Structure 1
Amino acid sequence: MPTRLTPRVRRSVLTLVTGAATALLLSVTSATAAPLDAPAESRAGAGTLTTPVDVWMKDFDADTGLQPHGNPTIWMSPDIKVCNTAVDCPWPGHSPIVGARNYIHVSLRNPGPYGTGAMEQGQIHVYWSDPGAGTAWDTDWNEIGWMTVPVYSGTTKVVIPWDNVPGPGHFCLLARWVSPNDPMTFEGPETSVNTQYNNNIAWRNVDTVEVEAGGSATVMPYTMGNPLDRANRNSLVFTEVGAPLRAAGGRLVANLGPTLYQRWVEGGKVGKAVRDLGRYQIEITDPATARLDNLTLQAKEKLKFSLNFTAATVTKEPMAVRVTQFGPDSTGAQYTDRGGVHYNVKVGAPRR
């Protein structure tokens, strides 16, 4: 079990840092920030405070900063998004443009439930990984950039440039607030556990699926992972948010590939609302209730597969499919959310 620190005492006030303050934050990039191998105190640029501080980010809309929280939604943070420009954009943000400069927008809140609202200076780090679940800290994450930030009482909005975004342009994003006066409770090998137990960490796995009505399938990547040092069995659970995919005459097929498909066969082909189409393809006949069970992952293993979305008719109704990996974790929980991806599905008119 991870070691936990004694809770601190906090209150909540919200303001907005914009204009000149945001421009100042934009001027600090990974190229000019202090080196990562410097001592934590010098990297954060702040000394020890006698007043409790708690800078935090939301894991979900109703999050209050308690750590750990019991909400299973740990990978849809409203405080992280990608915008194609440095100007703030509406939630859920933009799909990143491959090969171009994009911007990660992060909201830092002060105070959370364990602080007093005193100013704290620390670092905000942002990372990307392949879309999916079961990501290991820190081997599965690639750093985008970081900057030293003073966070006053309220909400400080930070913008970090992201250059040369790699293809195909689908990612999970992670933000970590690092501060000597507001430390992590712990960090273990699992991103899911770290996020739930540290309000300094926020995780965002939200992607947009643009489907052409009557056209070919839109293929989206997904990676299952096991960050632990022992093999274990996992499940993939499908749910829908908003209008069902069938409202657009939609169809969802998972191409598991030879390895993951063989694991499913070896596990007895256990599932619900799925149909084996052959050639490693599994149709998700009801994305609101479907699941694939008994999927064994070896220690530290990652397996990639694809999700193929098609639709027959244009619809403007909000539709989303969530694909969540469940399995054991290092805290002893035998069936817990190990992460997932929320796919916003948009069906457009046929291209001429």
Structure 2
Amino acid sequence: MSTRLTPRVRRSSLALIGVAALALLLPVTSASAAALDRSTDSGATSTAADVYMMDNASDIGLQPHNIGSIWQSPDIKVCNTAVECAVSQNPIIGQTNYIFVKLRNPGPYGNPVTEQGELHVYRTTPGGGASWPTDWTEIGWTSVSVAPGVTTVTIPWNGVPGPGHFCLLTRWISANDPMTVEGPDTPQNTRNNNNIAWRNVDSVALAPNGPTEVRPFAIGNVLREPTRNSVVFAQEGAPLRTAGGRLVVDLGPTLFARWVEGGMAGKGIREAGRNQVEIVEPGQASLDNLVLRGNERLTMRLLFTATTPTDKPIAVLVTQVGPDITGKERADLGGVRYDVTVGKRQG
């Protein structure tokens, strides 16, 4: 007969993944110990609380988990108005946008009790290898009481900077529901804490033979020593070629030079001009052997075009793969899902 771990024992066991991880955990645990012995203003007691956000549609709040992507959270949505939209939208520069976040109570390590805490939302350049907290800029936060069930929190987003394409990160902070372990590696933080959610989804609306849509994509290294990384391309739904689509990566002079130094390694690609590489097979292509120095993050540009309108859903997934803080050599360091639509030509 198996014995079920209590929430506190479960979280402690998750944190014991190394000396460095333990050092990070100790101040969090000691700070929350006193809070677990007293009631809060919201009426929450020492009963274990576990508020969580989903990393993907299959996520039930386990920490850590290896169920699908950790950077396509369905619980984070951007809308251009204060009325929640059906599908997340790209923020519009020059106006107030709104971020809707769903908080779920309870998760697998808590009981159905009302919990008081704070929800914080951050942004960074889309891509992978984002170091916490260095590469993240806070958008806003709010104090919220989360009753059992699903609570939707709205945070206004003012002063959206250009070009209007970002990764979003949400963090639930509560004395009775602490993080397990949190360091500089954003993917590891997200995977190990159901208090954290990450959304990297961008819409790319193209017109047949219309202007090129440009999207930034950053790759980074949270380690102190240099690392070798890949940028991997995949597809969901209809292939990009269904719309006569073309995807070109402008690496810029620094990353292109690093790629050349690395032997111009990759597959499903071909050179397309100064500092540029065309992704010939978006469903199975990669740019490999890209060297990043310690704590470095560099940005490339993705150039999308199409020639033919289509009603079929097209998604291009771009992921950084490389060494992470746990020692894994081919880890998912973050990526972006680009939902591509090609409408009919106007006029």
Q: Which runs of 5+ in 2 are unaligned?
A: 1-6, 12-30
> Is this contact kept in 1: 2:58–2:67, CA < 8 A?
no
> Is this contact kept in 2: 1:219–1:308, CA < 8 A?
yes
SS of 1:173 mapped into structure 2: strand
Equivalent of residue 6 in structure 1, options 6, 9, 14: 9
| 2:53 counterpart of 1:57 | yes
SS of 1:7 mapped into structure 2: helix
After superposing the two structures, state which structure 1 stretch, 220-229 or 56-65, moved more. Answer: 220-229
> Is this contact kept in 2: 1:72–1:337, CA < 8 A?
no
What fraction of aligned residue pairs are identical, expressed as a percent? 56
> In structure 2, do the counterparts of structure 1 residues 241 and 152 end up closer, same or farther at CA, with 3 Å as the change threshold?
same
Q: How much has 1:202 moved relative to structure 2?
A: 0.1
Counterparts of 1:75-90 in structure 2 under 5 Å? 75-90=71-86
Aligned to 2:169: 174
Aligned to 1:319: 314
Residue identity opposite 2:335 in structure 1: G
Counterparts of 1:9-48 in structure 2 under 5 Å? none
> Is this contact kept in 2: 1:5–1:185, CA < 8 A?
no
> Is this contact kept in 2: 1:252–1:284, CA < 8 A?
yes
**TM-score of the two chains, using structure 2 as the length reference:** 0.88
| 2:326 counterpart of 1:331 | yes
**TM-score of the two chains, using structure 1 as the length reference:** 0.87
> In structure 2, do the counterparts of structure 1 residues 299 and 216 end up closer, same or farther at CA, with 3 Å as the change threshold?
same
Q: How much has 1:47 moved relative to structure 2?
A: 8.3
Q: How much has 1:89 moved relative to structure 2?
A: 1.0
SS of 1:69 mapped into structure 2: coil
Aligned to 1:147: 142
| 2:195 counterpart of 1:200 | yes
Q: CA separation in 1, counterparts of 2:43 and 2:225?
A: 41
> Is this contact kept in 1: 2:54–2:75, CA < 8 A?
yes
SS of 1:330 mapped into structure 2: coil
> Is this contact kept in 1: 2:44–2:116, CA < 8 A?
no
Q: CA separation in 1, counterparts of 2:144 and 2:41?
A: 9
Counterparts of 1:196-345 in structure 2 under 5 Å? 196-345=191-340
Figure out how many residues of one structure are paired with residues of the other and give that number: 317
What do the CA deviations read for 1:298-334 (whole angstroms, capped 9, x no partner)? Answer: 0111111111111111111110100000111111211
Aligned to 1:13: none
Residue identity opposite 1:276 in structure 2: E
| Coordinate RMSD, CA, aligned | 1.9
SS of 1:264 mapped into structure 2: helix
Higher helix fraction (1 or 2): 2
Find runs of 4+ consecutive structure 1 residues off by over 6 angstroms. none
